Amino acid sequence: MLRRSLLGAATAALALTVIAGLGLVGCGSPRMAALHANCTTKGLKWKLTVLHKAPHSTHREARLSVVNKSDRPCVFGGYPLFEVHVGKGPEADGAGRGTASPIDLRGGGTVTTALRYKDSDGAAGPASTATSPGCIVSNDEAIVAAPHDHEGGRRPIVARDEAGRRTPLDVCDDTIWMSPPAEVAK
């Protein structure tokens, strides 16, 4: 009889430990990310918003928003691929600033990344574009891909202003700086 009650107590203690551990880890934590597959470019909905320019600034801010279209969570593990180019000509690439932690992105969840790039240059040169003198790249589309899905998942997306109108990205440098991706709270 004593043996059964010790076995029952041990089972109850083990069950409470597992439940408490799951409560501490949570479904959206990096520890749970190891249980899910990486996000794929085609499984995500992409949006690029060019923000209003600050007066007298030579830089522009933009926001890249990514939504998990699936019902299942996936791991958004790092910086996305981000490129702006003119055909096979000049190109500006996204580069991360800071450490990007993996995000266990729930189904329907959103991740955002802030972008910052130089968009005006006082001196017009041979590489300048029609919309912004001195800039090397001007396009209203960018190429994106999920982290670790660069080869098979590249997708063009249209740049839009805050009112939803199509707008060009005039990039006057070869680098577009990206902040670490962050999940948007529910």
Tell me if 71 sits within 8 A of 29, measured CB to CB. Answer: no
Amino acid in position 138: S
CA atoms 52, 57, 59, 61: torsion sign: negative
Report d(CA 152, CA 164) in Å as an integer.
29
Report d(CA 25, CA 76) in Å as an integer.
18
pLDDT digits (tens), the chain, 186 positions: 555 565 565 565 555 554 544 444 444 455 554 567 899 999 999 999 999 988 878 899 999 999 999 999 999 999 999 999 988 888 999 999 999 999 999 999 999 999 999 987 544 444 444 455 567 888 999 999 999 886 668 999 999 999 999 999 999 999 999 999 999 987
Collapse the DSSP code of 159 into the 3-class scheme (helix H, G, I; strand E, B; otherwise coil) and give the result. strand
The helix or strand, by DSSP H or E, that contains position 4, with its residue range, turns out to be helix 2-25
Residue with the two structure tokens 């991706």: 181
pTM check: above 0.85: no
Report d(CA 67, CA 78) in Å as an integer.
15
Report d(CA 157, CA 83) in Å as an integer.
10
